[in-house]
Amino acid sequence: MTKTKLGSFTKTALASAASILALQIGAAHAESPSTASFDIETQPLSKALVRYSEQSRQVVVAPADLVEGKTASAVGGEMSPSEALDVLLDGTGLKPSKDASGAVTLTIAQAEAAQRPAPFQLAQATTDVPAEPTPVADSEDDLRSMDAVFVTGVRGQPRSVLDSPIPIDVFSQEDLERQTQTGLFETLRFLVPALNLPQRAGGGTATFIASAGLRGLNPDQTLILVNGKRRHKTALINTSTGLFSGSAGVDLNMIPNSAISRIEVLRDGAAAQYGSDAIAGVINIILKDEDEGGRFTGNYGKNFDRGDGEFRDFAINQGLSLGENGFANISFEFRDKEFSNRARAVPLPDPDNPAGLNLFALQPDGSLDPREFTIDRLVTTNFGNFPQTTYSAAINAEYDFGGVEGYAFATYADRDSILDFTFRRPRDPRNIPEIYPEGYRPKELISEIDYEVVAGLRGEQFGFDWDLSASYGTDESEWRNPVGLNASLGVDSPTSFFLGEINADEWIVQFDATRAYDIAMGDLQVSFGVQYREEGFEIVRGEPLSYADGNNGRAPSAQGFPGFSPEAENSLSRDNVNGYFELGWDVNEKLFLGGAVRHESFSDSAGDETVGKINARYEFNDMFALRASANTGFRAPSVQQLGFKGSRGQFVDLDDDGIAETIVLRQTLPSTDPAAQALGAEPLTPEKSENFSVGFTLTPGYGFTLTVDAYEIKVDDRIALSTQFNRGDGRASASGGTIGEEISALLDAAGFDASLGGVNYFTNAIDTKSSGVDVVATWEDQFDFGLLALSAAYNYNDDSVESVDPNPEELSGLILADGTAIQQFDRVRLGTYTVAIPESKLSLNANLERGQASFNIRGTRFDEFIAVASSEANDRINDAEWIFDVETGYKFENGLELYAGANNIFNTYPEETRQANSLGTNFYDTISPYGFTGGNWYVRAAFNW
């Protein structure tokens, strides 16, 4: 059965970037052909094995140092795969053997094995003790610590991580399990130095979305694939004013970890190859494809401090054969995590000066209410991680019908996320004391159903490998307020509300084809494809009382998050037709040249875009190679950014007790909304990028590899949320009034009354640049005490805002008294694109395996980050910190595995950059890249059959 993943990085894939060579053109579980046609010239053995695997559809596994420096014999004609491999290996001193999985493993022939030197013996002048031969892996279990994947940034012939013309990271299932984090993105945060994931990207839905940015860019500027097919986005959009503001990416935590075989992270712009969104790179998730056996895993842990943050997950995976020509691999997972809260109790007020910290209104004589001494003063529960419960499942299946192969895969997730909003004191005007005499915390419950189904056929016709597929993905979210009230309705207010729904879906039909040509100067891979995509987004209104205004002077709408009003209700869709053409040219054994061009046509304001890419790799010798890439890219505004309209009731003008007296309705609007256009908003257009990278790979032998890649990414017309323009802005204006009065005049002229207290909107008003370097080094060797693998990965990234568009004419009058113009992006907002993200991240990892036992330790250094304030004097600087994680485990002969470990073993917290506020929060900056809830311990068990 042919496994030609034309839409992925790899046409086939399985191997070690550092220490083994492994090719998977045919499935290990499938019958290989009795005969095949071979045409392989004399060339380095490592390259010849790629050709052999491609032509025989056989899996081949071998330690890289065995094939290094060896030359393969020529093979030509019709013969069986075993006969062809014998000819290929003639004179190399290697012999093939087949393991239980069907993979062919290369080992040293007995006569030569006795002469093989021990590690580093070539560096020794003399030795008095005969060297023992290095153990040679002869099964998949022996190679487990070296598992990686043959990947490629071009279609067609497989390429190893080191042979790739662009930088790629590959992480196995074991790499993912060893992290034992609370989600897939949380795991990748420590595996990929170029990936940034704050504990909380901001308030509201930003706390629920697993939002991570690659190379300093937003989550929606990295394309996510599953088995090489585009993954649909979450319906939820980040409307916070913090990191990743305005983005709506793919939520990887909706995919069960137990279904994943490996993850490929392409760190280079790839819009010309894979389409819109691939500005920073591509993350490709490959699902498991075993046709037999299974695995059960269970994790349990909690935080060191307070014993909170309890998390547990259970997963089961089973492979099934579908006759002799197919398989189905099925996974199910339950994941649950509870609150982690780092808020502090509100101190008792000073009886001599009780105002401020008092939770209850003062007595008529000015004294404290006696309940101040009996109420639980840890009133804040939302300063940390929030609870989520997820049920997820996945299936991956293939069947060979003879000449045509059918495949299908699907994922499903049902997730409940809970957000506690800020505590409303008993005396707060947002409270009704008759309903909540001791105050309350409004809750927001978002229930999501997320699923995707992909089905397709692939085969070979006229010399072309072709792939025709169709997919549908959707994320449907229902919003409820299970604890709350609408203060403007008084004592008649309900205490729970249906707030509405936000849903997004995506249909895709695509065709891909690729063919290799043997031309006079090398081998040429020609690939092309077309795709039709339809995206939809809708907002469903909430129940009327969730957005009602009872006009009693108190806060309108449901507390926490107002229900979606009829004005917010929306439904939109758009079509996209695109096509690409790609060439990959192996000019000779040393030089590879590649190029791609793609044209996309959208049915809305995104319009038409054409982008291109060129890349090259030159191998000076077996140890050293240079690689470079240049490409243009784009990202069309998402349908979420085009259609989202939401509001929040917020208070301004605090009184002496810190209680807000003025209630305003602030809205986040699409750029086409009349209120946004009254403040200068214009229809969104695609972001456009230029991406350049250059690097080298070094493989001197002895199990050591090094890759270094420098890059620069310029993004013009970047889409983001503007500054919030508020009617209540009391800053003095040059006209003699206030900025708020100027904003009010603009909104009033457009017909909006004072209930619309503030507006921000999506806009293309900034240009940014991200420049940096990625360094990845690995070393692995066998010693008497065990197999030791060391790795180091480093990313340096400098983000800058290159320019901000001049203010639109509508905002020309917003001038402060000192002559400073109010920009569409204020200093705080611009800071989230620059210094809020650590400038560098270094990850060091050591893994030791001795027999059935294993030990792993990892240290990650996060550089300083700055929470930018309205003035430089108030900026909050967080120093660099090291986070250390450890794990130890044992694999029993009967299939049982036991592990114990800890994340952040030294219980490191970010700095307290502010004093706790009157509700006991805000002393940590919530954009911390390693969180602010300290360390946790865990235990994990697994059983294989």
pLDDT at 117 over 70: no
Neighbouring residues of 794: CB distance < 8 A, sequence distance ≥ 6: 193, 773, 774, 775, 776, 840, 841, 842, 843
pLDDT score at 491: 94
- Coil, strand or helix at 719: strand
Q: How confident is the model at residue 200 (pLDDT cuts 50, 70, 90)?
A: low
**Contacts (Cβ under 8 Å, ≥6 apart) of 559:** 421, 424, 430, 442, 481, 484, 485, 486, 487, 649
Phi, psi (deg, nearest 5) at residue 761: -150, 165
Q: What is this structure's pTM?
A: 0.83
Classify residue 746 by its DSSP letter: H
More confident residue, 150 or 733: 733
What is the CB-side half-sphere exposure of residue 74 using CA atoms within 13 A?
5
Residue 943: the pLDDT is 96
Answer left, alpha or beta for residue 354, where phi above 0 means left and psi between -120 and 50 means alpha.
alpha
Q: What's the confidence (pLDDT) of residue 300?
A: 96
Q: Which of 138-152, 246-260, 526-540, 747-761 has the lowest mean pLDDT?
A: 138-152
- Evaluate if residue 2 carries a pLDDT over 80: no
**Which position has the higher pLDDT, 354 or 115?**
354
Looking at residue 791, its pLDDT comes to 92
Q: Quick count: other Cβ atoms within 10 Å of Cβ 59?
A: 27
The tens digit of pLDDT for each residue in 816-858 reads 888 888 888 888 888 888 888 899 999 999 999 999 999 999 9
Select the highest-mean-pLDDT range: 42-46, 109-113, 787-791. 787-791
Query: Percent of the chain at pLDDT above 90?
Result: 50
Q: Is the pLDDT of residue 729 over 90?
A: no
Percent helix / strand / coil, the chain, rounded to 5: 10, 45, 40
Mean pLDDT of the region 520-530:
92
- pLDDT at position 305 is 95
What six digits make up the tokens of 556?
């309108």
Query: Mean pLDDT across the stretch 212-234?
Result: 91
Q: Confidence band (pLDDT; 50, 70, 90) for 551?
A: confident
Tokens at 431, concatenated? 């409270």
Torsion 241-246-249-253 (CA) sign: positive
Instruction: Give strand ranges (E) for 338-434.
Output: 340-341, 384-385, 388-400, 404-420
Residue 68 has pLDDT above 90, yes or no: no
Residue 663 has pLDDT above 80, yes or no: no
Find the helix packing angle between 81-89 and 45-56, rounded to 10°. 170
Average pLDDT, the chain: 84
Q: Under 8 Å CB-to-CB from 352, ≥6 apart: which residues?
A: none
Mean pLDDT of 192-213: 70
Chain center to CA of 694:
24
Can you read off the two tokens belonging to residue 364? 């008529």
pLDDT at 9 over 80: no
Question: What's the pLDDT tens digit per position in 389-441?
Answer: 999 999 999 999 988 999 999 999 999 999 888 899 999 989 999 999 999 99
Residue 101 has pLDDT above 70, yes or no: no
- What does the H/E/C string look like for 140-196? CHHHHHHCECCCCCCCCCCCCCCCCCCCEEEEEHHHHHHHCCCCHHHHHHHHCCCEE
Burial of 654 (0-12, 13-18, 19+ CB in 10 A): exposed
Q: Does residue 279 register a pLDDT over 60?
A: yes
Which residues, including other chains, have CB under 8 Å from residue 802's CB and lie 6 or more apart? 714, 767, 768, 769
Under a CB-based contact definition with an 8 Å cutoff, are residues 31 and 60 in contact? no
**Pair of tokens at residue 68:** 């290094």
**For position 689, what pLDDT does the model report?**
95
Dump pLDDT digits (tens) for 867-908. Answer: 888 888 889 999 999 999 999 999 999 999 999 999 999 999
Instruction: Specify whether the CB–CB gap between 812 and 806 falls below 8 A.
Output: no
Mapped onto helix, strand or coil, the DSSP state of residue 250 is: coil
Q: What is the mean pLDDT of residues 16-33?
A: 35
